[in-house]
Amino acid sequence: MTNKKISLKEIVSHAKQYGFVFPSSEIYDGINAIYDYGQYGIYLKNNIKEYWWKSMIQINENIIGLDTSILMHPNVWKASGHVTKFKEIFLYNEDTKYSYRLDLLIENYFQTNLNKEKQLKNNIIKYLEKKLKRNEKDKILKLINQMKIIDPNQKKKWTKIYEYNLMFKIPLKEHEPENQNCYLRPETAQGIFTNFLNVLNTSKMKIPFGIAQIGKVFRNEIIARQFLFRMREFEQMEMQFFIHPNQEDKWLEYWKKKRFKWHLSLGLGEKKYRFYEHEQLAHYAKKAYDIQFKFPFGFKELEGIHSRTNFDLKNHEKYSKKRFRVFDKEKKKVYIPYIIEASVGLDRIFLAVFSSSLKKETIKDTKKERILLKINPALSPIKAAIFPLIRDKRLISYAKDIYNHLKVDFLLIYEENDSIGKRYRRQDAIGTPICVTIDFNTLKDKCVTMRFRDKMLQKRVLIKDLKREIKKETSMNKLFQLLR
């Protein structure tokens, strides 16, 4: 079998054609950077979620889970620094009406102009930082135009520069005073920090321990490109690990290694991942590493591992007047815990898994092409498809019995339309690892044919062994074993 390269356009089109991802509100021409998950998309997404959730809170006895609200008290975002600091600089062209985020424009420029020296890049970043600190935005605009860093899509120069907070404002009442506005949360982390005392009071957790949660977050990303990579509404899976301040380096290294191993366990290949240490830090971070993934458009951030120090808890102490302190038995004094954060976008993992599992193969013997989603069976949306060989009453009845018996344990598909070859191709395209066919021999020997997606090998198994065989092939336990 030979493999052919698949473009991002083909990935997006396959996701739509096979019920994984649809543009939101498509009947009204869609809305920029917002997507809906179709039937197979949500099954795959839920499997990724389940794997993350269990590997955080079930495997680690010192991590517990929470589910906090999207809307929070306005003071949360003042204390967290998001109201004043969660801003980005944008460049704008008044003719085309298009904007672009300055940091992404520069990143894009240096990625497509690889011959530009690292030194030059660093000098430009330093210059920009200096001008930003002094609020000299016009000088930035001048430099960008002098360097001919134009809009890569519209091929036009920039005419304006402005700053913009990425949070969506939600006034809960009409005529709400500006400082009382609520926001759609831009990270799930703050729900964890604001519940820190509740968790301490209601659980047996002692430092070091973690709190994990999965939830929707919202950011008004003006340039949204690259499919699910940069969305306005997306899901985060975040774990905040509370530690003693003198253990910051130890736990940062620990979580870097642990999360890297988790990503490798998905089986997408070690070469697709690398670490990147941030030079420019988010307002809350003291040290930050990205686990980057090789997406179809190059290496980009998949997960962030950050040391947030006691920045958040200290500020919540200040704003709420509650004490976020724990007792240090050795030193006989109280301290505010430090936090190591592991934060990953669920949609980015989805994109990583989906884009690198989609294969176009030419079959050696027949020279025919097939598209398959060579996804880890533990994550596959559908675990097995059950087919009667042809539409014969006796075969249909047998196949339906098997389907009804196994559906309690696995998410299955039953199909009887089209030729068996066409049915195989459809299942390959949505990543079903096993197809089970009931034929006339089944009526005599109580055996069925199992056909495996990747190598297209077939074997006969007794119906009574089918559950064990499917479980062996698709169980998530295989992934957990790789985490040891």
Q: How far is the CB of 209 from ligand GAP (least distance, A)?
A: 18
Q: How far is the CB of 213 from ligand GAP (least distance, A)?
A: 11
Q: What angle do CA 147, 152, 153 make, to 5 degrees?
A: 150
Our finding on whether 238 is near ligand GAP (CB under 6 A) is yes
DSSP state of 207: S
Q: Which of residues 52 and 424 has its CB atom nearest to ligand GAP in the complex?
A: 52
Q: How far is the CB of 221 from ligand GAP (least distance, A)?
A: 5
Our finding on whether 312 is near ligand GAP (CB under 6 A) is no
Q: Which residues contact 260 (CB under 8 A, 6 or more apart)?
A: 273, 275, 291
Number of residue whose CB is nearest ligand GAP: 345
**Pairing state between β 434-438 and 384-388:** parallel
Q: What are phi and psi of 483, to 5 degrees?
A: -85, -10
Q: Which residues contact 389 (CB under 8 A, 6 or more apart)?
A: 395, 420, 437, 438, 439, 440
Q: How far is the CB of 349 from ligand GAP (least distance, A)?
A: 8
The pair of structure tokens assigned to 60 is 């680690």
Q: Which of 221, 361, 439, 473 binds ligand GAP (CB under 6 A)?
A: 221
Yes or no: say if 186 and 166 are a contact pair by the CB < 8 Å rule: yes
Q: Which of 344, 353, 382, 434 binds ligand GAP (CB under 6 A)?
A: 344
Q: Which own/partner pairs from 123-128 qualify as long-range (CB within 8 Å, at least 24 positions apart)?
A: 125/279, 125/280, 128/102
The pair of structure tokens assigned to 355 is 């884009």
| Stretch 73-132 residues interacting with ligand GAP (CB under 6 A) | none
Q: Which of 212, 231, 358, 435 binds ligand GAP (CB under 6 A)?
A: 231
Q: Which of residues 151 and 341 has its CB atom nearest to ligand GAP in the complex?
A: 341
Our finding on whether 234 is near ligand GAP (CB under 6 A) is yes
Our finding on whether 149 is near ligand GAP (CB under 6 A) is no
Q: How deeply is 306 buried, as exposed, middle or buried, from its count of CB atoms within 10 A (0-12, 13-18, 19+)?
A: buried
Distance CA 217, CA 359 (A): 31
Q: Which of 82, 101, 131, 219 binds ligand GAP (CB under 6 A)?
A: 219
Our finding on whether 343 is near ligand GAP (CB under 6 A) is yes
Query: Segment contacting ligand GAP (CB under 6 A): 296-304, 324-332, 384-392, 427-435?
Result: 296-304
Query: Segment contacting ligand GAP (CB under 6 A): 47-55, 57-65, 234-242, 325-333?
Result: 234-242
Q: Which of residues 131 and 294 has its CB atom nearest to ligand GAP in the complex?
A: 294
Our finding on whether 189 is near ligand GAP (CB under 6 A) is yes
Q: Backbone dihedral region of 114: left (phi > 0), alpha (psi from -120 to 50 degrees) or beta?
A: alpha
Q: How far is the CB of 302 from ligand GAP (least distance, A)?
A: 6
**Pairing state between β 63-65 and 209-218:** parallel
Q: Which of residues 305 and 463 has its CB atom nearest to ligand GAP in the complex?
A: 305
Our finding on whether 259 is near ligand GAP (CB under 6 A) is no
- The size of the interface with ligand GAP (CB under 6 A), counted in residues, is 19
Q: Which residues contact 70 (CB under 8 A, 6 or more apart)?
A: 184, 185, 215, 216, 217, 218
Distance CA 100, CA 418 (A): 48
Point out which residues bind ligand GAP (CB under 6 A): 187, 189, 219, 221, 230-231, 234, 236, 238, 301-304, 341, 343-345, 347-348
